[in-house]
Amino acid sequence: MPSIELNIFQRGILQKCATVFVYFASIITGALIIDWLDKRLFIRLAEEAAHQKLLSPEASRGFTRLIEARESTVIIFVVVVGLACGFVGWLFMRWAAKRNWSWPTTLPKAVEFRSAMEQLGIADPADRIAFARKHKLNVLAVL
């Protein structure tokens, strides 16, 4: 079969770009929702403290103005730090996946399939496969 050169679009670059876009959009949307919730919960906490006379009404209004004035650009910093941590984690996972974490072992009763079939007098590869299927032999493929 002849080798076919695929261009960048046939290799799926648009799919990857769309996936990255969806990830970024989801992360930013989630971060903005968390920022909004954080502000609302803190404002409610300040209002409850003012209602219980733990905080003066002036201080409560000051906290509320301070919280509402907080820029949402802080959340962009949080997103960037999260993405950087995610990227480092992804690199670490790639590194860990490339390592061989298993110990080598020698199987004393293991026999190479081809030599075992030759000892039985079966030389044709198709006959070897048919024999293994017929007798339900356990065959381990090692690449």
Q: Is the pLDDT of residue 100 over 60?
A: yes
Residue 77 or residue 84, greater confidence: 84
- At 37 the pLDDT is 86
Q: Is the pLDDT of residue 57 over 60?
A: yes
57 φ, ψ (degrees, to nearest 5): -60, -35
Residue 91 or residue 10, greater confidence: 91
**CA 128 to the chain's CA centroid:** 42
Three-state secondary structure string covering the chain = CCCCCCCCCCCCHHHHHHHHHHHHHHHHHHHHHHHHHHHHHHHHHHHHHHHCCCCCHHHHHHHHHHHHHCCCHHHHHHHHHHHHHHHHHHHHHHHHHHCCCCCCCCCCCCCCHHHHHHHCCCCCHHHHHHHHHHCCCCCCCCC
Q: Is the pLDDT of residue 105 over 80?
A: no
Q: Which of 63-67, 75-79, 111-115 has the lowest mean pLDDT?
A: 75-79
Q: Is the pLDDT of residue 16 over 60?
A: yes
Q: Percent of the chain at pLDDT above 70?
A: 95
Residue 107 or residue 130, greater confidence: 130
Separation CA 8–CA 14 (nearest Å)? 9
The predicted model scores a pTM of 0.48
